[in-house]
A and B are shown apart, each in its own frame.
Chain A
Amino acid sequence: MAVKANDRTWLPAAAAVPDGRLREAHDRVVAGRAADGDPHAFEVLVRRYSTLMRVYARSILGTNDEADDVVQEAFVTAWQQLDSLEDPGVVKSWLMRIVSRRSIDRLRARREHEDIIDYDPPAEAASSPAQMVQARSLADAVGTALASLPAGQRRCWLLKEVAEYSYREIAADLDVPESTVRGLISRARVNMAREMQAWR
């Protein structure tokens, strides 16, 4: 006779910590608890980071359509792998890397229609100076500059500077030479800096 008390037996509804308290806790505690298998803690992470992840995925993909699906897939992967995360305090950047990978998978799937590192036009101001002058805040101005980058430059830039990928990792994931990645990131930086100059 084998009797196994399963998790549910010991986790009646009353065992769930009031959501309000959990929402106030730092990533390290929330993610650590989620890694131990507490779905309530995981839901707090979903609510805490899904919007940022969606904004990021949209910027990598260049469209809004698939961003929600990509973020959803990223969270499912995160749940499966969370117990392998050694320091739960870095869960945010870890999630950004997962959503990066998921986004790249989508780009690969569409590759028959579009090159991930698409045609990269020579540096020129893509947004109109008027658009940049109208930017009401620094964040708006950076957002405009980012949006004006050619897709290949923007993708490499975000992977490097937000998801903290190395040049080698970007090259491997996008299946292009490392020198191409370096060139794209350098051009992205120069283009953004030029665009920013128009903002006062």
Chain B
Amino acid sequence: MTDPQSPYDSGTTDALDPANLDGHTIEELSAYLDAERTPTNFSIESSPGCQIALTALGRLRELTAHTLEAQAATEPAPPDSWVRGIMDRIALEARAGRDIPITHTARTAHLTMTEGAVRGMIRAAGDSISEVIVGRCQIDGDVTAIGEPVTITVDVSVAWGESIPLAADRAREAIHGQLAKHTELNIAAIHVMVQDVRFSRTAPGTGVAQP
């Protein structure tokens, strides 16, 4: 049951045995590690026993992180009621952003839509392409002045196995279509950044987008 990569597997657990440290102590090595091995201690650096011990001590960091992950994997998932407890406490309207004006025939009418609403529209448009999921979406330019050119940059995830350029094109078209229909934004460009290619758990390796 030992990890073959581990400095702690059978036979090498004596890595920390003082007898192998050429006169140095574990405390000394730990302090040396904390000092990022500077100034160079030639006695430690030239001792094979100390080198092995330093590796073992250094690995404790990743082993700790790995152990917490392993413990988490054995715990039950949080109950839905607990998750709902969090979702109920967060303010859903917190990300309104800037106000984007909309022209109206009546001069006295002052019509706006929030940047958050436009982002929601962009997400919905991009998501309508089955192999695409929209991530962060940035609207650059002065959206508060009608007619000013704006640039949209969206992060997307594309399902594995799909043509990435094609998926990006389809997302761009869908977003452009929706924005042209529902807003008066003067869109100079829509940049689609593919940030991640995801694997479907339900159709492993096939890349078949779920309907």
B166: Cβ under 8 A from any A Cβ: no
Given A25-B133, A43-B87, A46-B86: A15 in contact with B120 (beta carbons within 8 A): yes
Tier of interface size on chain A: 35 or more
Query: Shortest Cβ distance from A139 into chain B, in angstroms?
Result: 4
- Chain B residues, CB < 8 A from A189: 30, 33, 57, 60
A186–B121 alpha-carbon span in the complex (Å): 53
A177: Cβ under 8 A from any B Cβ: no
Q: Which residues 28-56 in A have Cβ within 8 Å of B in the complex?
A: 28-33, 35-39, 42-43, 46-47, 50-52, 54-56
Q: How many residues of B contact A (CB 8 A)?
A: 83
Query: Shortest Cβ distance from A87 into chain B, in angstroms?
Result: 10
Q: Which residue of A has the minimal Cβ distance to B2? A: A138
- Chain A residues, CB < 8 A from B117: 5-7, 9-11
Contact of B86 among A15, A38, A76 (CB under 8 A): A76
A6–B76 alpha-carbon span in the complex (Å): 38
Q: Which residues of A contact B (CB under 8 A)?
A: 1-7, 9-11, 14-15, 17-18, 20-22, 24-26, 28-33, 35-39, 42-43, 46-47, 50-52, 54-56, 59, 68, 72, 75-76, 79-80, 83, 88, 136-139, 141-143, 146, 157-158, 161-162, 182, 185-186, 189-190, 192-194, 196-197, 199-200
A22–B201 alpha-carbon span in the complex (Å): 12
A68–B85 alpha-carbon span in the complex (Å): 11
Contact of A197 among B13, B77, B124, B157 (CB under 8 A): B13
A192–B157 alpha-carbon span in the complex (Å): 41
B43: Cβ under 8 A from any A Cβ: no
